């Protein structure tokens, strides 16, 4: 397993502006930034200025953007296809969660919070929405894992999650989208670490974690099921 490097994300993912309503309506009219932030720029470690509304990301094949109201039906189909019909609640419950995700894109920035929530994975060549990826507050018993300080208390990490329509599995889209999000997490949010969780039998997700350079640790306990295997990735340039 090779360690994660910015060649997987930052060198390939191009950050683009997505502030105007015109861009947000279709998620496709994207202007590339003419300049890239200097990696050597001094940053006040106590400042929250880096926590701003997340910009649209581009990779070689994908656009990763905020969800917009027109995505509602596609997201409902995605949840049913990726997780099973009803696994994420009724149609009405899914709608509530989707509307929250749309509003949260701007709300989290106003509250100086990380850009938690789902974002659309869209193919650049067709504008087809093929999945979602995002950050989530992950409050779990990390003290049960070997590399964390032992504790019976739950602690919080920032987690990374992804989901694709099954017909788009096996093409590397999840790895490509997740790598761009990791680059953003380390370079823009200045995170020390990011995690991903899954069940012990979810080999597909574990393979994505490995391709991202995550080390996998197994929870000695079977519950909760989604915390059986945890992928952990430290910022290689962090201090």
CA angle, 230 then 235 then 236, to 5°: 115
β-pairing, 129-140 vs 215-218, is unpaired
- Write down the pLDDT at residue 126: 96
- Name the helix (H) or strand (E) containing 231: strand 229-234
Between CA 187 and CA 50 the distance in angstroms is: 10
- Write down the pLDDT at residue 44: 52
Give the single-character DSSP code of 68. Answer: -
- Name the helix (H) or strand (E) containing 95: helix 91-110
Between CA 119 and CA 113 the distance in angstroms is: 16
Neighbours of 30 (CB within 10 A): 18
Query: Considering only CA atoms, which of 221, 212, 194 is closest in space to residue 137?
Result: 194
| Residue with the two structure tokens 């430290």 | 234
Query: In the numeric block, which tokens belong to residue 108?
Result: 């989290």
The answer to whether 212 touches 175, Cβ cutoff 8 Å, is yes
Ordered per-residue pLDDT tens for the chain, 239 residues: 444 555 555 434 444 433 333 333 333 332 333 333 444 445 455 444 555 578 899 999 999 999 999 999 999 999 888 887 766 778 888 888 889 888 888 888 888 888 998 999 999 999 999 999 999 999 999 999 999 999 989 999 999 999 999 999 999 999 999 999 999 999 999 999 999 999 999 999 999 999 999 999 999 888 888 899 999 999 988 65
- Write down the pLDDT at residue 198: 94
- Write down the pLDDT at residue 29: 31
Between CA 189 and CA 143 the distance in angstroms is: 24
Topology of domain 53-234 in CATH is Aminopeptidase (3.40.630)
Counting DSSP H helices and E strands in the chain, the numbers are 5, 9
Query: Sign of the CA dihedral 195, 48, 119, 83?
Result: positive
- What distances in angstroms separate CA 148 from CA 75, 86, 152, 186, 210, one per listed residue? 35, 35, 11, 20, 19
The per-residue b/e assignment along 92-115, b for 16 or more CB within 10 angstroms, e otherwise, is eebeeebeebbebbeebeeeeebb
CA angle, 97 then 102 then 104, to 5°: 90
- SS3 at position 40: coil
- SS3 at position 87: coil
């Amino acid at each position: 397993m090779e360690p994660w490097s910015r060649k997987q994300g930052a060198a390939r993912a191009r950050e683009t502006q997505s502030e105007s309503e015109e861009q947000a309506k279709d998620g496709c009219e994207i202007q590339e930034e003419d300049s890239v932030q200097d990696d050597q720029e001094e940053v006040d470690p106590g400042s929250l200025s880096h926590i701003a509304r997340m910009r649209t990301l581009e990779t070689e094949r994908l656009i990763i953007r905020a969800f917009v109201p027109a995505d509602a039906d596609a997201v409902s189909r995605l949840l049913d296809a990726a997780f099973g019909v009803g696994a994420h609640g009724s149609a009405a419950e899914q709608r509530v969660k989707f509307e929250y995700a749309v509003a949260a894109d701007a709300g989290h920035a106003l509250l100086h919070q990380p850009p938690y929530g789902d974002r659309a994975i869209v193919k650049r060549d067709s504008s087809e929405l093929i999945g979602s990826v995002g950050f989530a507050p992950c409050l779990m018993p990390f003290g049960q894992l070997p590399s964390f300080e032992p504790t019976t208390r739950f602690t919080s990490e920032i987690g990374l999650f992804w989901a694709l329509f099954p017909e788009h599995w096996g093409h590397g889209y999840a790895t490509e989208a997740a790598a761009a999000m990791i680059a953003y997490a380390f370079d823009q949010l200045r995170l020390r670490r990011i995690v991903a969780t899954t069940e012990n039998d979810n080999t597909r997700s574990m393979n994505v974690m490995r391709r991202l350079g995550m080390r996998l640790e197994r929870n000695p306990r079977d519950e909760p099921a989604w915390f059986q295997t945890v992928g952990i990735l430290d910022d290689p340039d962090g201090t």
